[in-house]
Chains A and B, each alone.
Chain A
């Protein structure tokens, strides 16, 4: 059926109208998604900027009328939080270094050698990732008690390294797989040993993978709570998560101070996630070697 120009004009207008309406609903839904995602963050920041008398007001004040950094000063100056931040940093950085060494070696081993049991071992590392922490902490607690390592950094670092290893091994194996094995062999023909081929040729090509691994293991350690709360009992050894959680259940909670501590504890994770996102995407899409 031939359509008249008038018909077509009407059709186009209807299509335009539908397009506008669809666009409106899309951005309307997006607006709600943004509010849903960011409101708790905004509430956390708003609360951290209130003086105590503005914190306990009915109805609650959404925007602090008298914004102050007092809670941050309290957190960083008077309470134990600087100590918790220090402990968390020591444990997280040590975990990161250990995990990179162990996962780098294992990822390379799994990528370059097919040996008897290699497949079983790969699946074993995958399965260990699924173990519930609550199951492991009971005997781990007594093992560390027997070794005299309760309230020490190594007890936490060893545990966190093993938590982050499975993911890191699998991720780095994927990165090394994308680098042609001919590169190793060329290096070895030029007189490199296996290990120096790995260290001098393959590692520099896998920087995005190593960065992602490092950030991932750092975040595992920085955010962990169960092992931290069981393995430390003296407040001077608390990690930041335990320090924050220990406020809940107390008779009167200073919510503004606690929110300031939460903001400070969250800042490094948000920055690192922003990096992780970039490297993950880069690593997964481009691969480590081009051309």
Chain B
């Protein structure tokens, strides 16, 4: 008997058919319509808003593409594009390095592996707001523990560095906090990938006289390609649209040094109430994310077909 019995065509009868809902729709429609209501309707609305400008009396005037022209000339927009790129590339690179390193370490035969794995997951268990507040406190110039550590290991000039108040240090400081919070995700993915590598391949490499490095290069990495690809794309999407950490830690400051696209949209909408202008920038971020997403779906589907 087919597992998809419900798709079988009912025998034709001449009796008037009783109207009934296809059970497939009855099961899936509640979730789909909620998603459409909360995610699709606003999406359309943002496109609509992006070609309108907020009038003086709370009305929206149709102004075509003028919002889009306006941000192209806005240095704040290009500053946010630059910061977003640095924030995303920096965070994802650090996540990858730390996550790979931790995964390879935790995949070895060690005593108490489970305990170590749980400990390495701890940073991921914090809410972004708590991470932001906690690192804000650790970065405190006078009373913060980070300057104290630098001082203790002999970097005395570090005394009273205003990490989050310095134009050049604020963005790296936020990236370091994000590196701590986010690397366990890559670690989990890589650990799961490492588990799928058959032992025999390492033994074969050993017989062929491959060194540890060569075994890593020719056995481990090829097996991890898919997992790392997925992890990098998902992490890029999440970092690109990551709002909480920067908003709470620096508010985009000092002097817009940490302003990224999502905080710029927030500021223009909920602080300056320029909803049309903010929507136009939001539309741009949407298309960039859509590019990442299509890549992600393609990789997933390609894997499914294999």
Residue B292 interfacial (CB < 8 Å): yes
Contacting pair A135 B134 (CB below 8 A):
no
Interface bits A158-169 vs B (CB < 8 Å: 1, else 0): 110110011001
Contacting pair A59 B151 (CB below 8 A):
yes
Selected from A27, A162, A244, the residue in CB contact (under 8 A) with B110 is A27
Give A66 to B133 CA distance when docked, in angstroms: 24
Residue A178 interfacial (CB < 8 Å): no
Residue A62 interfacial (CB < 8 Å): yes
Question: Taking the nearest CB of chain B, how far is it from the CB of A80, in angstroms?
Answer: 16
Interface size on B, residues (CB 8 A): 90
Contacts A30-B116, A57-B143, A139-B42: A128 and B137 contacting too (C-beta < 8 A)? no
Contacting pair B133 A40 (CB below 8 A):
no
Interface bits A112-149 vs B (CB < 8 Å: 1, else 0): 11110010010111111011111111111111000000
Residue B43 interfacial (CB < 8 Å): yes
Residues of A within 8 A of B38 (CB): 136, 140, 158-159, 162
Contacting pair B137 A134 (CB below 8 A):
no
Residue A109 interfacial (CB < 8 Å): yes
Which residues of A in the span 25-42 have a Cβ within 8 Å of any Cβ on B?
26-27, 29-30, 33-34, 36-38, 40-41
Contacting pair B119 A106 (CB below 8 A):
no
Selected from B23, B41, B136, B241, the residue in CB contact (under 8 A) with A132 is B241
Question: Taking the nearest CB of chain A, how far is it from the CB of B232, in angstroms?
Answer: 14
Question: Taking the nearest CB of chain A, how far is it from the CB of B277, in angstroms?
Answer: 11
Contacting pair A266 B126 (CB below 8 A):
yes
Contacting pair B108 A247 (CB below 8 A):
no
Kindly report which residue of chain A lies nearest to residue B7, judged by CB atoms: A114
Residue A91 interfacial (CB < 8 Å): no
Residues of A within 8 A of B35 (CB): 124-125, 128, 162, 165-166
Question: Taking the nearest CB of chain A, how far is it from the CB of B15, in angstroms?
Answer: 21
| Stretch in contact with the other chain, from B71-79, B221-229, B243-251 | B243-251
Interface bits A232-249 vs B (CB < 8 Å: 1, else 0): 000000000100110111
Kindly report which residue of chain B lies nearest to residue A130, judged by CB atoms: B293
Interface residues on A, range: 35 or more
Residue B279 interfacial (CB < 8 Å): yes
Selected from A114, A135, A165, the residue in CB contact (under 8 A) with B42 is A135
Residues of A within 8 A of B130 (CB): 44, 244, 262, 265-266
| Stretch in contact with the other chain, from A1-9, A71-79, A204-212, A218-226 | A218-226
Residues of A within 8 A of B283 (CB): 135
CB pairs A–B below 8 angstroms (8 shown): A47-B137, A130-B292, A135-B43, A135-B285, A139-B41, A241-B127, A245-B247, A265-B130
List residues of chain A with CB under 8 Å of any chain B CB. Answer: 26-27, 29-30, 33-34, 36-38, 40-41, 43-44, 47, 55-60, 62, 101-103, 105-106, 108-110, 112-115, 118, 121, 123-128, 130-143, 158-159, 161-162, 165-166, 169, 180-182, 185, 194, 222-223, 225-226, 230, 241, 244-245, 247-249, 255, 258-259, 262, 265-266, 269-270, 273-274, 277
List residues of chain B with CB under 8 Å of any chain A CB. Answer: 1, 3-7, 22-28, 30-32, 34-35, 37-43, 45-46, 49, 101-102, 105, 108, 110, 116, 118-130, 132-138, 140, 142-145, 148, 151, 180, 237, 240-241, 243-244, 247-249, 251, 262, 265-266, 269-270, 275, 278-279, 282-283, 285-286, 289-290, 292-293, 296-297, 300
